[in-house]
Each structure stands twice: as C-alpha cells, then as structure tokens.
Chain A
Amino acid sequence: MQILELTCRQLRDKIAGGEVKSVDATTAVFEQIEKHDRQIGAYISTFKEQALAKAKQVDEKIAAKKPVGLLAGVPIAIKDNMCTTFGATTCASKILENFHSPYNATAVEKLLAADAVIVGKTNLDEFAMGSSTENSGLKKTVNPHDFSRVPGGSSGGAAAAVAAKMCFAALSSDTGGSIRQPASFCGIAGLKPTYGRVSRYGLVAYGSSLDQIGPLAKNVEDCALLLDVIAGHDEKDSTSVDEKTAPVRDWLSAVNNKPQNLKIAIVPELFKGADGEVVESVKKAIEIYKSSGAEIIEIKMPHFDYAIAAYYLIATAEASSNLARYDGVHYGHRTKNPADYIEVYSKSRDEALGDEVKRRIMLGTYALSSGYYDAYYLKALKVRNLIRSDFTAAFAKADCIVMPTSPTTAFKLGEKTNDPLQMYLADIYTIAVNLAGVPGISIPCGFDKNNLPIGLQIIAPAFAEEKLLQIAMLFENKTDFCKTAF
C-alpha cells in the first residue's frame, strides 16, 4: 500500500483502525516534500518536528483507545494567509515576512481540535491577489503536472501541495476563485463554501465581503470531510452565519446519497469564452449527468459579463482599506532611516508590497474617493445585486449551475504576468460566485492534449453544500479524472 495515494478519509480510517501510523504517513509526506518541493515550491514554511510530535501523540491516543478528532493523524497544509501561532504568517508578502501571529485562525483551531497534523504553510499570490501564484513576494510555485506552468492562484501552493502528494488536503481561501481555479489547474477538488459558512476570523483579509475559507483535496469526499471540521458559527466573526439559519451537517455521511430529480442549469453563452478542449470536457460531463437521469436546462445569466468589473471595484475597495494596516508602524517591515513619519508609511509600503498589491490598493482607493464613490463603488454594489438576482432566478429553475471553472488549463509561467487584464479574465467563471456569496466546487472532468487537468465548476444556492457535494460526488463516482502528479 502506498500511503501517499490514500485520501484523507481512507488515511483517517486506517489510522483510527491501527492499520497505519500517523507518524508513518507524516514521515512519508515530509519525504515527498524533501524530494519534490525544491522544484515545486509549494511551501513557504514546514513544521516537521511539530508535525511528527503531533502524529506521535495521535498514534498514542489511538493505541490507548482514547477518543480522537475527525482528522486524527492526517497531514494537512494551510495556505499562508491564515494566522497560526506557530511559524510565520506571511501572506507571501515581504511586509509580513517575519510576522508571527499571537493567535490561531478559528479554522486552524478547528483543524487542531480535529487532531489534524499541520504540515506547513503554502505559497500564494501576495495577499491572495492573483490567479497564478506568480504574484508571491516570497517564492515561485510551479504546477506539479508540468513544471513550466502555473499552479493557478491564488492558492497555487496549496493546490500544488495536494496534487504533488505533499499533504493529504489543504485549508485554503477563495475571494474570486482562489480555491477553485488552482484545483482545476492541478487536477484536484476544491470547495468554496457559502459566504458565512466558515469563520473568517484569522484569515488575513483581502476582500472581506468575498473571502471564504474552504478545502482543497484529492476528491469530493475529502472536501465534505474537511467542511465537517471547519464549518460553523463563530462569535468572533459577525458575518459567520448562525447555526439555526445554516445548520452544520455531517456532510461526509451525506455525500454519497444520490440526489433525486436533479435539474442542472447550463449557460450556453458562457461557453463561448472558453478553450475548445475545456468546453468539450464540460459538455461531456453534462452528458454524463444527463445519462444518469439529470434534466439539463438552458438558462441566461444576463449580468454575468459584468462580474469581473464589479469584482475589481468591490474587492479592491475593501483591500485598499484592509491593507492600510501594513504600515511599518506597528508590525511587519519598516523602512530603514525614514526622514519623517510619513516616510515610515510610504517607504515601508513601497519597499515591501508587490506591484499587483499596489495596483489593487490604488484602484480601490480611487474607487472609494470622494466624487468617484457613486460612479464606481456604489455602482459595483448595484451590479453585485443584479448578479445575485441572476443566481436566484437560476436556482428557482435548477438545483445547480454547471460551467467550466476556468476558460483554460494551466498556462505557462510568465505568459500573463505582463498583462494584468488578461490575468483577471482567468477568473471569469469563478468571480460571480463570490459576488453572490453562494457555494461552488471545482472537480476534475478531463484533460487537454497536453494531459493538463480540466475543471468542472458546480454552483449551488446558499447553504446548499449538501446537495452541491452530492452532485459533485455523483460525477466523481462515474468518472476517474482525479489525478495527482507523479
């Protein structure tokens, strides 16, 4: 048996059954990291000693027949924009390169409480701003399936780590597609839960009204398992939904139930923007659903085209304010020998923030400025409402909407770095989902001629994660597109 080939669920069950030791699984993961991560560059930091100690502790608990958590002994990675008391929390930015958080994010606390073994923290586009992880201020990450290509972004490190079997799953975040698009590029599953489903406390904010934590994993079942662990109301996050409105369920148990009378909506117009091979795979996926009894209906999403424009005003407006705190005054990078206190701000930020971050801060600052607020920010909010109503109308007719996750497969490193607008368009299918706050998942649905993975995106109504996971599972059970590298 190859330990690294196991899914989270399989590994957890084997560890719990005494068949596999967590220490062995953890050792295997670190061997894999030592073997491949120099080339892939998925991790910003790793915690080998701490991980092995935790693994040993879990093994001892199991040997002593003590109760253990849902992820007992399973090695998990964390995107480096979630606060941890161990290691640094860098957001892949020079401005936080040496920042050590005095507290754990709620989602991290939940992982720890579930007895997960934390492997390390993964690379990302600086402050999660980007679609290829090339905006990382600290290091480069490549796609494990093809080292000349990007892993996607912003959670490129996390997706690459899962795809390269350098962890069994990863905790990640999605503001405009940052979980789903890298999942698609790396041939794995990635779930963005409903906004409010998972506490954002301790997730370093980019676009607060869009950010949501979710899992990247080898398959749908593991996404369900991780959601079981991290979901729920948190009194530290006012925007996390109370459990009366959105009860936390045992998604892992429910995931294999076949959804009945399934109605799937597709938006034919949206296929125009995607590569031929991507469209072909997605259409085949739709056929598979059809053959398993689902009804396919065609709908229109009239405001979908405006999503990117609205997103780059709302997200950047929020970001301009969220990132104001990185000023060199209180913590993080501070410029040497500033002439006055104004220079502490301007030079510290100039020296330590990357181009894309600066670009978005400037854009957001502009959008919120007096005289422009109504024309940009307020108008974007109105567009957001229209997009929400597009989704509401769609879900009145269907259980879910299916479309590509990304218009392309993984592109070449450097291919789009000089054309930010082209890079923004890589998120065309994922962004509207964040604006509407609804859940979406990306699952592998095929390969292009270069044998690069293609992702299928399924979108469901708010808090309908159970159905979403079941619909995704239905496809996964009938196909075999999940593919880790090596």
Chain B
Amino acid sequence: MSELDYKIIVGLEIHVQLATRTKMFCGCELVFAAEPNSRVCPVCLGLPGALPVMNRQAVEFAILTASALNCKIAEFTKWDRKSYYYPDLPKNYQISQYDLPVGENGFIEIPIAEGQTKKIRILRVHLEEDAGKNLHGENFSQVDLNRAGTPLMEIVTQPDMNSPQEVSTLAVELQRIVRFLGASEADMQKGHMRFEPNVNVVIKKDGSEFKTPITEIKNLNSFKALEKGTAFEVKRQLNEFLDSGEVAKSGNKKTFGWDDTRGVTVLQREKEEAHDYRYFPDPDLVPVVVNEKWLADIKSGLCELPLAMQKRFTADYSLGDYDAGVLTADKDTALFFDNAVKAGGDAKRICNFITQTGLKIANEKGCRVSELGISPQRLAELAKLLDAGTVSATAAAAIFEKMTQSDEMPQQIAESLNLIQKSDADELKKIVDDVITANQQAVEDAKCDGKKTKKAYGFLMGQVMQKTKGTANPQIVAKIMDERLKSI
C-alpha cells in the first residue's frame, strides 16, 4: 500500500454518560452493575400512562460541555421521539433531540505533537436517553432495563481527523474536558464513553481522487479499541479499493462491529438501511427555553480547560508536554499541583512527587493524589527540603508516604525518621575509610579501568549508604570517595 497516496478522513460520534444522580426522565438512581431490573420505575419501563419529566441537571451538563466545546447554545430546544422497535427500548421510541440540539457548530482543540494543537470542528451536541441491555442465552433472551433512561450526551464531530492517533487523542481530550467540567465521570470501565467513528480514505491515483465507501464502526468503548479499529478499517478500505475499486456513493455506507479479541472489524450491515425514525416532537415534554440568566448560571461552572492548563504548565513551569499531560489528566490533581507550586515548591520536584510516588500510592488506595491527606503547602515544604539537600530523593519519597498518615510537617517527619542527610564531611570521611578498609578487592576493582570499575564503585557507595541507613548525602560521599580512591 505504500505506493498509494492517500488521506484518512474520520468523523466521530461520541456518547458520554452524564454524571447526574438520577436518570434523564425519571427519579431512578444511576447505579453501576446493580441487580438486573432493580433500578426501574413506571417511566423508564415505559409502562402505560407513565410520563417523562426532564432532568434539569442533565441539560445543564450538556450545555456546560457544549459551551466548553465552543458551541452555539440553543436558546430554544425541545425533545423528539425517535421511533424504532427493539427489545431493549421499552417504549419503542427513544427520547432524543432531532433538529434543535443543545449546542451546534463548535470546536475542540487537541494536542497532536509537542507543543502543537489542532482544531476539530464539532457539528452538534445533543441529549438523549440510553436504552437497556439485551442479554442473550442459548434459546432465550433477557432484557435488563437498569440502563434504560440513562442520560447520554451525543457529541458529533466534523470529519476533521486524519489519523487513528488523532481520533484517540480527541477521545482522550474529551474525556479530560468532561471530567474537568464534572459533567461525566467518563469511566471507560463503566462504559461512560462509547465511540462510533465514521472512516474513509481519499486516494490520489493517476491524477484523480477516489473516496472509499464510508464505514461506521459501532460501539467502541476504549481508546485502544478506537485507535486500533480505525487503523484496521483504513487498511481494510485500502485493500478493498485495490481489489474492487469501489468508491463512496449514496447508500453504500457500511456498518462494522469491532472484534477486540481478533483485532478486526466485522461487517454488520452491507448497505445503509433506509431507517425512517419518524421523528416528531414529544408531546409529553415541554420545550426548553435557555434564557440568558440560566445560561450565565451554567457557564459559571466553566473552568480552565485541561489543554489550556497543560499549556500553562509547560510555558510557566517549564514542564515537558508529557508531564503536563499526566498532571492535567485529572482536574483535582492538576489543581493540587498548581497550588503546591504556588505555595513555593519547585515545579519539577512537585511534578515528580505527584507522578511518581503520589500516583502510585493513590492508585493503590483508589483515590486521587489530592485526596491522600497531603495539603499543597506541606508538599511544597517537602520539595523545599529536597531542594536544600536536607533530605535525599529516596528519603523524600519515604517522607511523602509518611505524610499520608500523619499531619506533621515534612521536617519533623524527616527528623523523627532520622532521614536528615548526613552532610558532615568529617563523619562521612570516617565511614568511607571504614568501607575502603573492609572492601579491599572492590577498591582495587574500582581503581583499575576495567569492566568491573563501575560496579565496584557502586558497591562501595552502596556500602556507605547502607551504613548510614541511606541518610548520607550522596554528592558529598561521592566527593570523599573519589578523593580517597585517588590517594590510594
């Protein structure tokens, strides 16, 4: 395929589950993995006579997200019924938004290379209710309607992405954004984000352009699957083009599923079925008028977005894109970092504390770094101790861990754990001499220029550190060690 000159075109539909307490149109609480059909009521079961009532919080989350995505927010929007028969859809229509979505014509900025970003246009953001789940047995099927009525925000991009990496980057960026806004937990494990990329390829050949038929890949629910599925589809389309020369035309859009175990896309529908969803305004719900005051209230929930914060961290704090990206993956962590730096800690050191020790402990505990019981101020103090050489990096990590269990200041902890670095040259000279006397073979190895030199030197240093229980200032020890070895 390398002989082909081609361009990948991808647009993305993303379903994001909103972080409301209750469902979109009823009071049932949203609980993950509850016993089947235990979180249901007449409304989400679609029983005769039941009526939906709009969840205001869901509308606010959608408007907030659409605002963050630079969309034009509808002043007047409404609910429409989308009709189709399926066992997981109890009313046999889904309440959605058809011609008046909450937001339209926005864009999202995504990081594509060190310091570089790209704008992807957003076509629309709208709200709808989720369906239930069909569970298939050998010769029977069951329906679990716990998920029915869950508020979903559907975000549709323009086909502005040109590589599988850009597609997954957009997905990750969107995850950061909705998390920063608190609009969604965006927990991939819980299916809070589901992706449907529309993929095709424009091929330049013999001076003409050929567009392969568009395919939609259904229900991808991890970033990896999204990227791999898109990449696979590109390859498959290029091969297909070489085989058949088929090009995109009206009605030949295909739908594929993604087989994660085999790593291939699987054809689901050959031709785009002429779905007639018979949309019409839901007479059970009143239209939503978004007045200026309400919009202002909602927009007061906007905050510095992750990419902006990431850019600030690289520019103001001289962090690399990678570190700044890790820190801004989560809003609380990012703010914790920012506050610790503002409290006087060195940015690089604070960053290391968080990304190395902090995230490790936090992951073990299943919480955020900001929830470990260490205030940004205390962390800044710890960074200062390390800066001043009062403690070693190893000791600082130990102090960090201790700080999660105690309210004491890092200095006190260092003292009580005997972790203040020994920088007293006379004391250290004596220990170095002891080590040299006791390890003559290693000294010889360290002195000659050979294979063993480095290892022997490391061994001697290690002996000193062991004798001082890690409290010796390594720079000073090294200096003494070098002097002593030279003089032997």
Name A residues whose Cβ lies closer than 8 Å to a Cβ of B.
82-83, 89, 91, 96, 99, 101-103, 105, 200-205, 207-209, 235-239, 317-318, 320-321, 324-325, 327, 329-331, 341, 345, 365, 368-370, 373, 377
Contacts and interface: CB of A to CB of B under 8 A. Distances in A.
Nearest to A207: B283
Contact of B278 (A83, A207, A321, A325): A321
B49 A238 contact: no
Given A321-B280, A325-B48, 13 more contacts: A103-B47, A105-B49, A202-B49, A202-B50, A235-B53, A237-B53, A317-B280, A321-B93, A325-B90, A327-B92, A329-B143, A331-B47, A345-B85
A325 B145 CA distance: 14
A89 B52 CA distance: 20
A365 B278 contact: yes
Contacts of B48: 83, 89, 91, 96, 99, 101, 204-205, 325
B46 interface: yes
Contacts of B483: none
A368 B53 CA distance: 24
Contact of B87 (A102, A204, A329, A377): A329
B260 interface: no
The 3 A-B residue pairs with the shortest CB-CB distance in the complex, in nearest-first order:
A324-B92, A208-B283, A209-B283
A238 B97 CA distance: 17
A370 B278 contact: yes
Interface of B: 42, 45-54, 81, 83, 85, 87, 90-93, 141, 143, 276, 278-280, 283-286
A121 to B, nearest CB: 13
Q: Is the interface of B mostly helix, strand, loop or mixed?
A: loop
Nearest to A102: B42
Contacts of B51: 200-201, 236-239
Nearest to B286: A238
B38 to A, nearest CB: 14
A83 B49 contact: yes
A324 B276 contact: no
Contacts of B276: 369-370
A51 B166 CA distance: 69
Given A324-B91, A325-B92, A330-B90, A205 B49 contact: yes
B144 to A, nearest CB: 12
Contacts of B47: 83, 101-103, 331
Nearest to B274: A370
Contacts of A370: 276, 278
B83 A324 contact: yes
Contact of A325 (B52, B91, B143): B91
Contacts of A202: 49-50
A236 B285 CA distance: 11
A368 B285 contact: no
A310 to B, nearest CB: 15
A82 B280 contact: no
A368 B278 contact: yes
A327 B51 CA distance: 18
A325 B284 CA distance: 15
Nearest to A346: B85
Contacts of B52: 238
A216 B473 CA distance: 95
Contacts of B46: 325, 330
A101 B49 CA distance: 9
Contacts, number: 95
B407 to A, nearest CB: 47
Contacts of B42: 101-103
Contacts of B83: 321, 324, 368
Nearest to B27: A236
B50 A239 contact: no
A449 B46 CA distance: 49
B378 to A, nearest CB: 48
Interface centre among A82, A103, A325, A369 (most CB of B within 10 A): A325
B275 to A, nearest CB: 9
6 contacts: A89-B49, A205-B284, A239-B284, A325-B92, A365-B278, A373-B278
A133 B139 CA distance: 42
Contact of B53 (A101, A208, A209, A236): A236
Contacts of A324: 83, 85, 91-93
Contacts of B50: 103, 201-202
A325 to B, nearest CB: 5
Contacts of A373: 278, 280
A201 B49 CA distance: 6
A377 B90 contact: no
Contacts of B284: 205, 208, 238-239
Contacts of A201: 49-51
Contacts of B278: 320-321, 365, 368-370, 373
B49 A204 contact: yes
A318 B283 contact: yes
B39 to A, nearest CB: 15
B285 to A, nearest CB: 5
A205 B48 CA distance: 7
Given A201-B51, A204-B49, A239 B286 contact: yes
A325 B280 CA distance: 16
A329 B50 CA distance: 18
A345 B48 CA distance: 17
A237 B283 CA distance: 11
B93 A330 contact: no
Contact of A341 (B87, B91, B279): B87
B138 to A, nearest CB: 15
A236 B284 CA distance: 10
B422 to A, nearest CB: 71
A239 B283 CA distance: 8
Nearest to A211: B283
A207 B51 CA distance: 13
Contacts of B91: 324-325
Contacts of B81: 321
Contacts of B85: 324, 327, 345
A341 B54 CA distance: 32
A371 to B, nearest CB: 9
A209 B81 CA distance: 14
Nearest to A377: B280
Contacts of A327: 85, 92
Contacts of A377: 280
A345 B45 CA distance: 17
A345 B93 CA distance: 14
A236 B52 CA distance: 7
B49 A203 contact: yes
A91 B90 CA distance: 19
A365 B42 CA distance: 25
B70 to A, nearest CB: 31
Contacts of A101: 42, 47-49
B50 to A, nearest CB: 7
A357 B93 CA distance: 18
Contacts of A207: 283
A204 B49 CA distance: 4
A201 B48 CA distance: 10
Contacts of A239: 51, 283-286
Interface centre among A208, A237, A327, A365 (most CB of B within 10 A): A327
Nearest to B145: A330
Nearest to A326: B48
A435 B50 CA distance: 22
A330 B47 CA distance: 9
